[in-house]
Amino acid sequence: MTFEIQKGMNKTFTLFSVLISFLVFGMSSACLAQKEKKQILMHAEVYKGDTILVQYMPFVNIVAERKFQSKAARKRFNRLQYNVKKMYPYAKLAGELLKKYEAELAGVDSERARKKYYKMIEDELKEEFDGDIRKMNTSQGRILIKLIDRETGNTSYEIVQEFRGNVSAFFWQSLSRMFGQDLKSDYDPNGADREIESIVQMIEAGII
C-alpha cells in the first residue's frame, strides 16, 4: 500500500516537474520571441545603390597639449585663460540681453518712449554690473570688448551707438582710447584673437 502511494506520488511529481519545465520553457521561448521581435530603428542612406546604416557619434573635442617656449610664455597664457574665463559669462549675458532689448525695442515707435526705455536699460545694467565692472582691470576690459563682439556680432562701439547715439559712442570711444582700449575693435578668431578663441572653445566644450 505504501509502495503504491509512493509510486503514485512519484508519477504526480514527475508530471508536475514536466509541467513546470513546459511552463518555464514556454515562458523563456515567449520572452526570446518577444526579444527577437523587438525592432531597433536605425538611420540608413543609399550610397551607389547600396543601403548603408549610419550611426552618428557624439562630437568629441581633441585638444593637443600646448607646449610653451618658456615659463614666461606659460605664465602669460595662464593669465589670459584666467581673464577669458572670468569675462566670458559677462559676454554671453551681453549677447542674451542685446537680443532681448532689440526684440522689445522693435515694438517701440516714439522717440520719447525709446529714450525712456534706454534709460531703464542703463539703470538695470548699472544695478546689475556696476560693481563688477569697476573691479575689472585693463586686460579684462579689452577681452570683454572682444568677447562681446564675438557673442553679438557687433563691436562695443556699434552697440553704444545703437542705444545711446553717435555722441555717446564718440565720447566712450575717446575715453576708452585714453586707457588703451578700442571699442571699434573687431573679433578675429583666426588671427589676432586665436588664443582667446581657443580658450573659449575649451570653455564651451567643458574642458576647462
The structural domains of the chain, with segments of one domain joined by +, span 84-204
Hey, which bits of 9-59 come out as E strands?
43-47, 50-54
DSSP one-letter code for 137: -
What is the arithmetic mean of pLDDT over 112-119?
A: 81
CA distance 182 to 173: 7
Position 205 pLDDT exceeds 90? no
31-36 LR contacts (CB < 8 Å, sep 24+): none
Predicted TM-score (pTM) of this structure: 0.63
Give the range among 18-27, 31-40, 75-84 with minimum mean pLDDT: 18-27
Cell numbers 509512493 correspond to 6
Summarize pLDDT for 127-153 with one digit per residue, the tens: 777 777 778 888 888 898 899 889 888
Sign of CA dihedral 188, 192, 197, 198: positive
Is residue 14 over pLDDT 60?
no
